[in-house]
Amino acid sequence: MAYIDYDNNIPTDAPGRAASLAEPGQPDRRIPIPSPLAALPGRVQQLVLLQRTRLSRVSKFLLVGATGALVNSLALLLLVQGTHLPLLLASALAAELSILHNFSWHDRWTFGRTQLSWRRLARFNLVSLAGLVITTATLWLLVRHLGLYYLAANLLGISLATAWNFAVNSCWTWGGAP
């Protein structure tokens, strides 16, 4: 609950926070200001909080995915140019490195887990592999059969795979996390 001190026009978080600004012996003229969420029925409050949690998770998921793409690209560059690995092998290694990067950030930050789980890692790897198939199949279908420009088709494939990855990882890998 928030409060506002009407004598000093100062918002405060708790009663007594701005008490030092009032004259001794004067009554406390702050009144509680309920949060807008408090005016909603209990079930609606729960739904709003759930949607906030989901939005926060989706945002974190997208941010981690974007950094994972950078990890993948940098690793690919280093593996191809630095170690002169064949492109397909370098690509597979870079993809796995980015998957490990993404898993560690999602496990700790996006989904708030504190204990490493090999089971979650294996599931995340499988879901990511399916996401790669979705991206590649979408790219191929849109370019080959609809004549879409390959970069646009790739972005659509990535978008579909991202939605897949978030939905399945939320439900299966991290056990129904909202």
Q: List, as one string, the DSSP characters of 82-100.
A: IS---HHHHHHHHHHHHHH
The confidence score (pLDDT) of residue 20 equals 46
Tell me the average pLDDT across 103-124.
95
Q: How many residues does the chain have?
A: 178
How far apart CA 69 and CA 91 sit, in angstroms, is 12
Q: Do 51 and 63 fall into the same domain?
A: yes
How far apart CA 95 and CA 166 sit, in angstroms, is 17
pLDDT of 154 higher than 70: yes
Domain membership of residue 11 as a residue range: 2-33
Does any domain span residue 128? Answer: yes
- What tens digit of pLDDT does each residue of 20-50 get? 455 666 666 666 666 665 655 666 656 656 6
Q: Do 73 and 132 fall into the same domain?
A: no
The end-to-end CA distance of the chain, in Å, is 25
Average pLDDT over all residues of the chain: 82
Residue 32 near residue 25 (C-beta atoms within 8 A): no
Q: Do 24 and 50 fall into the same domain?
A: no
How far apart CA 108 and CA 115 sit, in angstroms, is 8
b/e sequence 34-57, b meaning 16+ C-beta within 10 Å: eeeeeeeeeeeeeeeeeeeeeeeb
pLDDT level of residue 84 (50, 70, 90 thresholds):
very high
The confidence score (pLDDT) of residue 132 equals 92
The confidence score (pLDDT) of residue 23 equals 63
pTM above 0.75, yes or no: no
Structurally, the chain folds into a number of domains equal to: 3
Q: Do 102 and 131 fall into the same domain?
A: no
Q: Return the percentage of the chain with pLDDT > 70, whole number.
A: 70
Q: Do 130 and 99 fall into the same domain?
A: no
pLDDT of 127 higher than 70: yes
DSSP helix/strand/coil, 12? strand
Tell me the average pLDDT across 159-168.
94
DSSP helix/strand/coil, 177? coil
Of 68, 99, 116, the domain-final residue: 116
